[in-house]
Chain A
């Protein structure tokens, strides 16, 4: 019996080692005298054991695969969470609030009685167009202003034309209409109140206001 047990254990061990053993083991009893019947019996048992071992191995493998998959899923989740956290921390360094970003420039300026955005300021409008098209949750109000040369009513109209001009550029840049509103203050809210070009040049402008709702 000892021999049988030994051989069975060995077979099992071998099966474990090979993982998918299909060959008969050459580990046999050394006693020539041992009855053939016993040997055959052992062989039959061997085969049964092998079959059982194979089944067990397959089950274990499946379990292992399951475990691995679960582990991977957990890793995935953790990674996603980390990614989300990273994304969240990116909002706090919104380029809109980066003092070094061109997005920090929120005004474009004009010559007298002109409503077309000047070449020098195009990059500012383009940067805001890119930002707004990438941040569809953001809204901007374009506020047109004028110097005091002209009647207040004409300047109210001119300020609207300035704001509308910037709006057109933003739309061309891929910003949605629903993200943009326009308003004119005409000459009513001068930034500088002098009656000279130094003041007037500051007052001829469109402001991009992200804080109006």
Chain B
């Protein structure tokens, strides 16, 4: 909670607290700050106090979570149109966002938004949309994405979704939610364990593992129709699905031939093709963004380490040498590095390694931190950890500076994965 020392974070936390009605799935705490934060003011939108949610509050919370922005309180200045902006009042910020939200006779809300460059005194972005009230959160996330992209050069990920498993006693739920934890949708509810959900590249399907047939079986489920099929149900365990970037194949792990080996299979269960076969444990494959390589965890060298091999199989190259055991590798979206869970001296840490320098960097202070995955812009890492005796979600910026904990209202969270950009 180092960030709590800084008064400006109090504003955000109070704002978040006010924003979290009963339907909030997750309670959020943020700590730390980025090295080069962009100072910005998010002026409250005119008329938003009449809405069920504060648009500027959601935008502020999104930008705050990224760690790349320093939110400057507008302290009483409340312009809503570009002509109302007196730029000399905004020395100290690089940009400011203004806007309005007005309820229309048909019940929709007209949202106007402008992003202004406070230094060049120009308009950077703008949007006017009419939306239903239940779409206001999505509108606010899109505004935050626009601000993020204009000011950092990278796409924002506030409109993306995450998937995780919520386990509460014997209840196991596979949950899809917005990246800030709102809008929870239960995809599957069962009394048996659910493991390793994985987004298809277009976000339309999930692959996952459940014990509904007593042993671990891999399924693929459509989020559009909710229909699902069995991808692999051989004797032993069927697990660890990972999609190829073109969505045409899954890498999975089977134990049917002794040991735990990596196979490729089509998402309809056909075309099984074995890639490794040395009787050891090879698991948790992850496709490279170009689809040419797989990284995976293996104990072939004694301890559990990360290896890389061509997607055709063959020789594997060991990538990690430091620390005790290393698990759950996933490529960064640009393919230049990978993130993994490092077990050392009784703690799990989230770590990254650059393929070129081969340097391992710890992003976190350690705890029970497992199953990391990158946001699609590569700027944040989502993982599962524990706090206050519960399994929770957490994120850390890819430079390790900003950390966020997201507490579920009930149950323990496991096996999160960040989804891809939504097609709009």
Contacts and interface: CB of A to CB of B under 8 A. Distances in A.
B100 interface: no
Interface stretch (B58-66, B152-160, B235-243): B235-243
B337 interface: no
B260 A149 contact: no
Contact of B327 (A150, A160, A184, A189): A150
> Which of A150, A151, A184, A189 is packed against the most chain B CB atoms within 10 Å?
A151
A158 interface: yes
Nearest to B256: A160
Contact of B328 (A151, A164, A182): A151
Interface in A127-162: 149-154, 156-161
Nearest to B167: A188
B323 to A, nearest CB: 14
A157 B283 contact: yes
A56 to B, nearest CB: 76
Interface in A176-212: 181-186, 188-189, 195, 212
B341 A157 contact: no
B281 A154 contact: yes
B55 interface: no
Contact of A153 (B214, B235, B253, B386): B253
Given A184-B237, A185-B211, A156 B343 contact: no
A154 B371 CA distance: 11
Nearest to A157: B260
Given A154-B281, A164-B258, A188-B193, A181 B235 contact: yes
Contacts of B288: none
B339 to A, nearest CB: 13
A197 to B, nearest CB: 10
A185 B283 CA distance: 15
Main secondary structure of the interface of B (DSSP, over half): strand
Contacts of A153: 195-196, 239-240, 253, 283-284, 297, 327-328
B298 to A, nearest CB: 9
Contact of B297 (A154, A164, A185, A212): A154
Contacts of B341: 151
Contacts of B235: 181-182
B281 A161 contact: yes
Contacts of B415: 152
B414 interface: yes
B325 A150 contact: yes
A151 B239 CA distance: 13
Interface in B209-247: 211, 214-216, 235-237, 239-240
Contacts of A160: 236-237, 255, 260
Nearest to A189: B193
A184 B371 contact: no
B327 to A, nearest CB: 4
B68 interface: no
Contacts of A184: 215-216, 236-237, 255
A121 to B, nearest CB: 22
B253 A157 contact: yes
Nearest to A212: B214
B304 interface: yes
A160 B304 CA distance: 16
A199 to B, nearest CB: 14
A151 B281 contact: no
Given A156-B237, A158-B281, A184-B236, A151 B297 contact: yes
Given A156-B283, A184-B255, 6 more contacts: A151-B341, A151-B371, A153-B253, A154-B284, A160-B237, A183-B214
Query: Which 3 residue pairs spanning A and B have beta carbons closest together?
Result: A157-B260, A151-B327, A188-B193
6 contacts: A150-B343, A153-B328, A156-B240, A161-B281, A186-B237, A212-B214
Interface of A: 149-154, 156-161, 164, 181-186, 188-189, 195, 212
